Structures are given as structure tokens and as C-alpha cells.
Amino acid sequence: MIRPCTLAINNSGSWKTLGKFDASYEHQAVQIMEAAAMLLVNLNAGKPPKQWPTLRICDDNAGGAVQMYWSRERGWYNNPRA
């Protein structure tokens, strides 16, 4: 992998890995992000936004810097600390 990343979900106070992908393949990365968001929308329809899980994408290396987050209110957004 050229740019390994991890997609993770937080639905109960801790992050759990959903999968790993190569972010250098931009088309594939966008499809993964859209599919993950769509899955949460369909699984949580009708719940108040505060009860929805969140997603994140982070580098899959020793530093593991978070690149992006997803929330019901904001959708995907860049990590303001990155």
C-alpha cells in the first residue's frame, strides 16, 4: 500500500476498526467513505443525531494521525488538528 489508512467507528465510547484501505486510490477511497456514511444513515434513521455513531479515517502507521471524521450533523470533514 502506498498510503494505508484505517476506517473506524465509535458507537460506544471507543474506536473499532472497520477496515483498512489504500487512500492513494482516490476513487476507491471516496467509494469507501460514501458507503460507510450511507450504511450509518440507513442503520440509524429515526434516531436523534446525538445517538448516532461517528466515523474516522486515520493513517495506518505508528503515528496514526486522524485525517477525517464523519458525524450525522457534519458529514465528512477534515480533522481540524491535522
Which residues, in sequence order, are CB contacts of 27 under 8 Å at separation 6+? none
Q: How confident is the model at residue 82 (pLDDT cuts 50, 70, 90)?
A: low
Residue 42: domain span:
4-78
Rounded mean pLDDT of the chain?
Answer: 93
Which is nearest to 73 in space by CA: 55, 57, 49?
A: 49
The string of pLDDT tens digits covering residues 39-76 is: 999 999 999 988 999 999 999 988 889 999 999 999 99
Between 63 and 15, name the one with better pLDDT: 15
Which is nearest to 68 in space by CA: 60, 80, 56?
A: 56
Neighbouring-strand partners of residue 55: 9, 70
Count how many domains the chain has.
Answer: 1
Whole-prediction pTM value? Answer: 0.90
